Amino acid sequence: MQITIPDDPRLRHRARTAGFASVQEYVLHLVNHEVQQVDIRELAADQQDAEEWIRDLRAFVKSIPPSNPDFDDSREAKYSVQ
């Protein structure tokens, strides 16, 4: 992809101040940095979606009434000494 970078003295100054040899290098750095930031934001959004899904699933499971409320699944009941 090719883009036309305007000949702007402020942009040249910012590139020099940031330590870049050319405006093109500086602009490429800015674009790459923005792409990385977008990736990080997307990862954070995915993580939030997963956490929300897990919360919803746990709430759903808790809302299901037990099919046999008298069933004892405790350790003592499973390994009772007779």
Distance CA 26, CA 15 (A): 5
Distance CA 2, CA 8 (A): 18
Residue 19 pLDDT: 93
Token duo for residue 19:
């330590």
Residue pLDDT, tens place only, 19-62: 999 888 888 888 888 877 777 777 777 777 888 888 888 999 88
Q: Cα 56 vs. chain centroid, distance in angstroms?
A: 19
pTM for the model? 0.45
pLDDT over 70 for what percent of the chain? 96
